[in-house]
Structure 1
Amino acid sequence: MHYHLLIDADDTLWENNIYFEQATHDFITFLNHSQLSHEEVRAVLDEVERLMGYGSVNFTKSLLETYRRLTEKDQQEEDIEQIRGFGERIRSQPLQLLAGVKETLDYLSPRHDLVLLTKGDVEEQKLKVERSGIEHYFRQVVIVQEKDIAAYRQVVEELRIDPQASWMIGNSPRSDINPALAAGLNAVFIPHPHTWRLEHEEVLNNGRGQLLTLSAFTELRTHF
């Protein structure tokens, strides 16, 4: 059967969150708070990130705001520059495809209709897609501000696809799996060991669609 495969990008096709995790670790080590544990500082950063939004630019703002809230000394310009550097370094990281992604897209693209569906800062996501070298496998690249039920319904309508013949493939329960299922699509959950903490959620299949859980992107070849 010919399917529409909507495929997530960050931490599904290429590594992403490991670079944010490294920057977070460097920031917390640099802050070196005398009273708060690593986890307590991280909780404040999580709270700030919920307000700031996605992408490395907003993440850098989140680091600076967390520093402003938690620093135990007068704010120094050199400290601010150091922290800004932790965030900005993310953009210069090499784009590393996950194992078997290219070979799997080679296999899937002649058989199915592939759409890359990602969220975040438009320019930053476009740049990643261009750098990835895999854009040609996809009929279309769709970048949305948020992946919620309304966004999936809109994508289905704009692409004129049948939800029951469509699968959302990704690593995030909160953005890729639960809202897609709730919108009437099928979903393939491929967990990533370093999925962003704010994307964690119990996988719930409240819709009519099928749910597959795979351990690697390459396993798509077995099912599609």
Structure 2
Amino acid sequence: MNALPRFAPGQTLLLDADDTLWENNIYFERAIASFISYLNHHSYTHEEVRLVLNEVERETVRERGYGLASFRHSLVTCFERLSTEPISAEKHERIVSFSQAISEHEIELLPGVAEVLPVLASRHRLILMTKGNEVEQAEKLSRSGLAHHFTSVEIPREKNPDAYCAVCQKYELRPHKTWMIGNSPKSDINPALAAGLHAVFIQHPHTWVLEHEVVDVVQNGQYLLELAAFTELEDRF
């Protein structure tokens, strides 16, 4: 890692938000743990219930996209599939409360973000690129106090190679000077590399399981940096 160069000012840095700039998935994990305990299934282990929920979430994302409403739908659907009794109004309300608690959390910036992001903004062009529910993501950005560091904000439904190519075309970005920075191999790293961009993988210990993938091999001329913390960006950019 030490042999890598420090990249010159004037790069374009596309930055993910959830679990790159601020904590996000830990709140969903807590809600899921509460849900599984409440379900208290007599035949399925907690791990088996989680596998069912993962599959339900995959279905929900395809049908409804991301966001708290989709997460609530997944919890209710999972409960209906696994419960031996019909879901009552009281149970429905309790399940909804697990997801509602997520929206009540303050935005908790990850270590070093508040200090390093303005430094990066003084040297490079920063564009926030985070998938999800547009209203929810914009609201989180507003509450984070970080919005003024970004020249633009993109909230696509999915972050796939086409989405990255579209952003490059929209802002006339040159791939050899454009980087995607994030914690998700599935949404941040692999599709950006497939679109011809460079990437910076900042691992997060609680990345959503549906975002796990083996990181692709870079092509000639591409860079893939793997950093342990957001603070390390200051030494590379």
Q: TM-score range by the shorter chain?
A: over 0.9
Corresponding letter in the other structure for 2:225: L
Task: Give the corresponding residue for 2:3.
Answer: none
Out of 163, 174, 180, the position equivalent to 2:186 is 174
Q: CA deviation at 1:92?
A: 1.1
SS in 1 for 2:130: strand
The residue correspondences of 1:82-97 to structure 2 (distance < 5 A) are 82-97=94-109
Contact 2:80 2:86 in 1 (8 A): no
Task: Give the corresponding residue for 2:166.
Answer: 154
Corresponding letter in the other structure for 1:67: F
Measure the CA separation in 2 of the matches of 1:117 and 1:131: 17
Cα deviation 1:161-183 (Å, max 9, x = unaligned) = 10110110000000000000010
Task: Give the corresponding residue for 1:12.
Answer: 20
Measure the CA separation in 2 of the matches of 1:121 and 1:29: 28
Measure the CA separation in 2 of the matches of 1:101 and 1:162: 26
Contact 1:12 1:98 in 2 (8 A): yes
Measure the CA separation in 1 of the matches of 2:130 and 2:213: 18
Contact 2:218 2:224 in 1 (8 A): no
Cα deviation 1:88-113 (Å, max 9, x = unaligned) = 11111111000110110121111000
Task: Give the corresponding residue for 1:222.
Answer: 235
Contact 2:16 2:188 in 1 (8 A): yes
Task: Give the corresponding residue for 1:40.
Answer: 48
Task: Give the corresponding residue for 1:21.
Answer: 29
SS in 2 for 1:213: strand
Measure the CA separation in 2 of the matches of 1:51 and 1:116: 27
Q: Does 1:127 find its partner at 2:135? A: no
The residue correspondences of 1:101-120 to structure 2 (distance < 5 A) are 101-120=113-132
Contact 2:200 2:225 in 1 (8 A): yes
Contact 1:182 1:207 in 2 (8 A): no
Alignment TM-score, normalising by the size of structure 2: 0.93
Alignment TM-score, normalising by the size of structure 1: 0.98
Corresponding letter in the other structure for 1:109: A
Out of 191, 200, 203, the position equivalent to 1:188 is 200
Q: CA deviation at 1:207?
A: 3.7
Structure 2: runs of 5 or more not aligned: 1-7
Task: Give the corresponding residue for 1:62.
Answer: 74
Q: CA RMSD in A?
A: 0.8
SS in 1 for 2:154: strand
Q: CA deviation at 1:52?
A: 1.1
Contact 2:27 2:102 in 1 (8 A): yes
Task: Answer with 24-33 or 101-110: which moved more.
Answer: 101-110
Q: CA deviation at 1:206?
A: 4.5
Measure the CA separation in 2 of the matches of 1:131 and 1:57: 20
Measure the CA separation in 1 of the matches of 2:28 and 2:75: 11
Structure 1: runs of 5 or more not aligned: none
Measure the CA separation in 2 of the matches of 1:59 and 1:217: 28
Query: Segments of 4+ in structure 1 off by > 3 A?
Result: none
Task: Give the corresponding residue for 1:3.
Answer: 11
Q: What number of residue pairs does the alignment pair up?
A: 224
Measure the CA separation in 2 of the matches of 1:181 and 1:128: 27
Task: Give the corresponding residue for 1:74.
Answer: 86
Q: Does 1:51 find its partner at 2:64? A: no
